[in-house]
Amino acid sequence: MFQDIEGVVSMRKVLLVAGGTGGHIFPALALGEELRNCGVTVIWVGRKGMLEETVARRADFEFEPIQSGQVTGKNPVFRLRALAEISAGVFQSMKIISRINPDAVIAAGGFVSAPLLIASWIRRIKFFLLEQNCVPGRVTRFFSRYAQEVFLTFPLEKSLSGNCNVTGTPLRQGIVQRCSQSSGFPLRGGASATIQNRTVLVIGGSQGARVLNLAALDLAATLSNIRVVIITGKRDYELIKSLVRSKNCELVDWTDQPEEYYAQAALAITRAGALVISELMAFGIPMIVVPFPFAADRHQDANARYIAKIGAGVVLEQSQLSGLTSLVQRLLTDSAKMEAMSRNARAAVRIDAGSAIARRIMTVLNAEGD
C-alpha cells in the first residue's frame, strides 16, 4: 500500500501489542500488515499460547511473549496475582525494548498492553493507541494522555484526555478487497418485498454467544423460507449442531475469512463488538445489534447506540430476544428501511482506516528522523 510514499525511512522498528479477543487482535493484524508494507519491521508482543500468538505467527510476524494480568473483582488473592503478572510483564517488556530498540510502540487493546505501555513510558518510547469502542477501556483511559495519538474507531460518548482522532478501525485486506466488490443490500437479495431465500447471518463475536445461537435456531425453524447461517464459536458448535432441526440452518464454528459470509448476507444479527460492526458496515449489511449486557463498562451498549444513531441498524436488548423472529420478518419485508440502513452503514465507515493510520504513524516517525 505504501511502497510509493516518499521519505519513508528504512529499517524502522515498532512493537505491536494486542491480545484477548479478535476485536483487539485483528485490527492489530491489519495495521501491522500495512506497516510491514511500508518497510517497517513489526514485532508482535503478547501472551504465549494465546490467540494473538497464533495470529501473529500465521502472518509471519516475529512474536515476543510477555506476562500480564487483569486486575478485576474484589478477591485480594486474584488482584495480587494479577499485579505480580503485570510487574513481571513490565520487566520482560523492558528487556525487549533494550534488545530491539523500537522507534515506537502501538497498542491495540487488551490487558496485555499495560506492561509494554508502562515500560514504554519509563523508557520514553513514543506510543500510539487504538481504541475500538465508544467507551474506552481502562488501559486507554489511563495511557491516552501520554500517547502520541489515540486512533478511535467511533466517536466517544465522553471526551478523553490526549490527542484523539476518529479514524475508523483497521480492516484486514481480505475484508477491504471483498467489500469493494459488494453492491450493498439491494443486490444481495433484491429490493422486492419477498424474503424468499434471503441469507441472515448470525455472529456472536470471536468467542461465540450461546443466547444468540439458540435464538437463531428458533428463527430458522420459524422462517423456513430464509437461509440462516450461524457462526457459533468453537465452544458451542457441537451443542448447537445437536439442536439443529431445520434444513435452512447452516453452522460455522469459526472463520478467519468472514468476508465470504458477509458477501452473502442480506441482514446480520450480531453482538456489538466494534470490529464486527465495522466489518458489517463496510459491506453495507443492515444489522440487528444485541449488545452483551455484561461487557466491561457496558461498552457494547454504547456501540449499539452509535449504530442506532447513524441509522445503520436496530438495537434489540438480550432480554427482548423473544421478539427476534418478528423483527427479522418486518425488516426483510421493508426494503426502504433495509436500503437506508445499508447506505448509512457504508457512509459512516472508513475502509481505508488501516492505511490512514499507518500513514500517520510513518509521518511521525519520519519527522523524528529528519
Distance CA 47, CA 19 (A): 7
H/E stretch holding 314 reads: strand 313-315
Neighbour-count burial of 298, counting CB atoms closer than 10 A to its CB (0-12 exposed, 13-18 middle, 19+ buried): middle
H/E stretch holding 268 reads: strand 267-270
22 is in an annotated binding site: yes
Non-local CB neighbours of 168 within 8 Å, separated by 6+ positions: 153, 278, 349, 350, 351, 352, 353, 356
Residues of 104-143 as b/e, b for ≥16 C-beta within 10 angstroms?
bbbbbbbbbbbbbbbbbeeeebbbbbbbbbbbbbebbbeb
264 is in an annotated binding site: no
133 is in an annotated binding site: yes
Distance CA 248, CA 228 (A): 6
Partnered with residue 338 across adjacent β-strands are none
196 is in an annotated binding site: no
3-state secondary structure (DSSP) of residue 13:
strand
* DSSP designation for 256: S
54 is in an annotated binding site: no
Q: How many CB atoms lie within 10 A of CB 340?
A: 15
Distance CA 108, CA 140 (A): 9
Amino acid at 49: G
172 is in an annotated binding site: yes
169 contacts 27 by C-beta, under 8 angstroms: yes
Distance CA 228, CA 167 (A): 33
3-state secondary structure (DSSP) of residue 316:
coil
Q: How many CB atoms lie within 10 A of CB 265?
A: 26
Distance CA 345, CA 333 (A): 19
Judging by DSSP bridges, how do beta strands 227-231 and 249-252 pair with one another? Answer: parallel
| Binding-site entries for UDP-N-acetyl-alpha-D-glucosamine | 21-23, 133, 172, 206, 300
| Binding-site entries | 21-23, 133, 172, 206, 300
